[in-house]
Amino acid sequence: MGRSKDVAWNQCEGKRGSGETQQRVRHLIVALPSCPQTVSLGSKHPRDDRFIMSEAVIHRRTVKVINEQGLHFRPCQLIAIAAQQHRSSVILSRGSTRADAKSLLELLTLAAEQGTDLELEVAGPDAIDVLNEVTELFSCGFQSPPRPV
């Protein structure tokens, strides 16, 4: 088939940086017990503390897929658009499957049917806003735009 594996590997190498950032956030989420919690990471730079503190506050909420067709393309698109409008990290989980809610491709891998409970985890400076916005999308079955929060 004449596939160029070397070129493909090089492409992967080039994307490693963003993956590590995401992994760091995931590690934080896994390491913390029930939330919200604030954890001081002991930065040597006082000016960094506010940012780090806000990153370490993890907000969790269980959301249910109520629409008949499940978490198909359009709902995933609406979630991704909402998440991308905020600086906070947003993770949706179904069991051991975790998806960066800013990535449509990752959200589609959840394959969540009607009635499925998903875990929503948000961390960042505008966490409450995005938490409420994404929850509202689930609550209205992705049928109408979320109310302003």
3-state helix, strand, coil split of the chain in percent (to 5) is 45, 15, 40
36 interacts with other proteins by CB under 8 A: no
Of 27, 45, 72, 86, which is the active-site residue?
72
H or E element in which residue 90 lies: strand 89-94
Cβ of residue 32: shortest distance to other proteins, in angstroms?
26
* Binding of residue 21 to other proteins (CB under 8 A): no
The string of DSSP letters for 2-60 reads ---HHHHHHHHHHTHHHHHHHHHHHHHHHH--SSS-------SSHHHHHHHHHHH-EEE
- Residue 110 lies near other proteins (rule: CB under 8 A): yes
Does 106 sit near other proteins (CB under 8 A)? yes
Establish if 96 lies at the interface with other proteins (CB under 8 A). Answer: no
Residue 57 CA to residue 53 CA, distance in Å, equals 7
Q: Is 26 or 72 the residue whose CB approaches other proteins more closely?
A: 72
72 catalytic? Reply is yes
Give whichever of 60 and 72 is closer to other proteins, judged by the CB atom. Answer: 72
Q: How far is the CB of 44 from other proteins (least distance, A)?
A: 37
Specify the length of the chain in residues.
149
Give the catalytic positions in this structure.
72
Residues found near other proteins in the complex (CB under 8 A)? 1-5, 7-8, 11-12, 15, 68-74, 77, 104-106, 108-114
